Structure 1
Amino acid sequence: MSGVFPVVHRVSGVFAIQGDEYVKRGPARASDVVGLGRLDSIATGETVGTGKKAPQGVETPPPPQPVFVTGLGIQDRKDEVKLTTALGKLCEEDPSLEAEHSRETHQLLLKGQGEMHLRVALERLKRKYSISVDRVRRQVPYKETIRKSVEIRGRHKKQSGGHGQFGDVVIEIRPQPRGAGFAFSEEISGGVVPKQFFPSVEYGALDYLNKGPLGFPVVDVAVTLKDGSYHSVDSSDMAFRAAARLAMSEGMPQCSPVLLEPIMAVSIMVPSDATARINGIIPQRRGHILGFDARSGWPGWDVIEAHIPASEIEDLIIELRSATAGVGTYHAKFDHLAELSGKLADEVVSEHAEAAA
């Protein structure tokens, strides 16, 4: 029961928990650890009591932010719908768990407080709901962009009896400042491309940007329709969309594409005597230390602020706890995208291509 509107439940008894056995006992007092029979609609954090009056709620702290993530691969496709429901139940029972379907990588993720925490949760998933999943590496949501501009023509022409298809565009593709996103404009004069087809050219460009030359979504690119031609009978929205998509596919590889990796803003909380050790760990993960300060309200603790690539924090909590006798933790959130080049970029592109094959 919680709040001002109590919900009445009838339980089959109060039980003492002794290992894996439940022994019926007398009334329970505040702070006792007990089991309640046939009570399946109460959530973690709610307060229960006896009588008609709702008990005074106990304020519980918010669950800690997840620091360990794994991808989930379902073993039996028929369990997909059941898996979503089961994960929701697990997260209700344990608010420090989070299940998420990544919109960027389309991967099902389970987040928690460490490797053992997730292992126990997945064992419970199998035991209670009869669903088996594989743990897979979390995919990093890489992006790509371009370094230089190019002007390119795309011509889509098909004739197969009756009305054909014709669309002809000349577009300029150029880089945008980081974070500016996609922009489309036109500089058509003389009606060489009718206005009604401008949106189709934009949609054709956007179609291509879902997967660029390196195989990742493209960001921070501007496209300008400069010139083109049309046919009074054979031109259509579909034809101009195809022409723009063709121009993008031929032009983008000429624009010096570059891989972008997500960089996380990380706050690491550790005892002060471990700060020097953590300062050595961060550069090993291609991180950059921004500074550190005393942790407010925690005498003898420091907070280290750093930027670390998302690909390098997957198992950070394991090394962090090893260096701090198990007490260190961190918070992380996305900060910006940064260029990744050289051998590391080549490996990412190669692995992505192999996985997509």
Structure 2
Amino acid sequence: MDLTFSAEERAFEQEVRDFIAESLTPEMKRATALTPSVFSDPDIGMAWQRALHKKGWGAPGWPVEHGGPDWTPAQRWIFEAECARAGVPNVNVMGVKMVGPVIIGFGSPEQKNFYLPKILSGEDYWCQGYSEPGSGSDLASLKTRAVRDGDDYVINGTKIWTTHAHHANRMFALVRTNDGERQQDGISFILIDMKTPGITTRPILTIGGDHEVNQVFFDDVRVPVANRVGEEGKGWTYGKYLLEFERGSGIASAKLREALKTLCDLAESDVTGRAIEDPDIALRMSEVEVDIDALEMTELRVLSALQTGQNPGAVSSLIKLRVSEIRQAVTRLGVDVIGQDGLAVEPARPFYRLNHEPAIPEELLPVVPEYLNGRAYTIFGGSSEIQRDIIAKMVLGL
């Protein structure tokens, strides 16, 4: 899509390109291309976050008073598009795009002063404590309980599918502090130091062979009441606010477009036997490209709303739904494009640190794991069924 920018915006575009050329190392770029997981490993992703922070670009969506760069919607778009084209690392967004906005919106001055600078600099690495066994899409049924004991909460329970909990030093979690008439009542939003005694993290390997997610257990974990964000029992409100940012504050279309372009290049190469000559492959690629164009325009509308201080709202569910479906369409295409090479299995991780010759060309290594891991796209962050319910009620008024 050809967007017309002003001379000032073109100058900013060149500034972004210059910054990326100076800051993105070949090692970062290669590692990102060979990572089939949602986020880059911390040694790659946080190195990029530190470079952004040094430039003053660490939190594009934050208010200026908390470290945001005061970009216009066009600048934000340019930045995201250039990062996608360059193949920069997939930074863990749990801090900047999820808990950060909640702390800014509902946190105390002390919480803002303590946590926000560490999120910006990459000193703190966050994970999300939402889902539990039996409480995923029905998140309000969560049972992890925090009992008040003086100036502390004593937490017992478990969280599951906790992305990068094995790397994180902090978690934001929804816990039950009391019982109300509705399941949503009595839930509080708590910030937890992952080094607190009583926390155990156990790995879960995904079907793609990657260690992204974990189960985290809490056994009499004492957390200061001062770590609660906002009012006790209002965590469901804050949690929904956060999910709007998780689902709708990013610009996924640029990355999806680059993923499709990379796939097209593969399909046109001899490595895949010029799979692009298969008319079914060519047609499906065209269909995905049209879907990305439509997604791009919706994201631009949301970006404009965010710039005026609005939260994404229910349209974030529409974006989350379509991003998940398009991602899966791209990864399905990837498996079809590489054909029988998809039968090769490389269990070692990460791919960018392999010290032996893989059975298939290096650029093909992430294709099948991305497809397998991508089955979760329509589940995490709220399943597609939940998103359709929200769209029906909040957008269509049904």
Structure number with higher helix proportion: 2
Same fold (TM over 0.5): no
Name the TM-score, length of structure 2 as normaliser.
0.22
**Greater relative contact order (CA < 8 Å, ≥ 6 in sequence):** 2
Whichever of the two has the greater Rg, that structure is 1
Name the TM-score, length of structure 1 as normaliser.
0.24
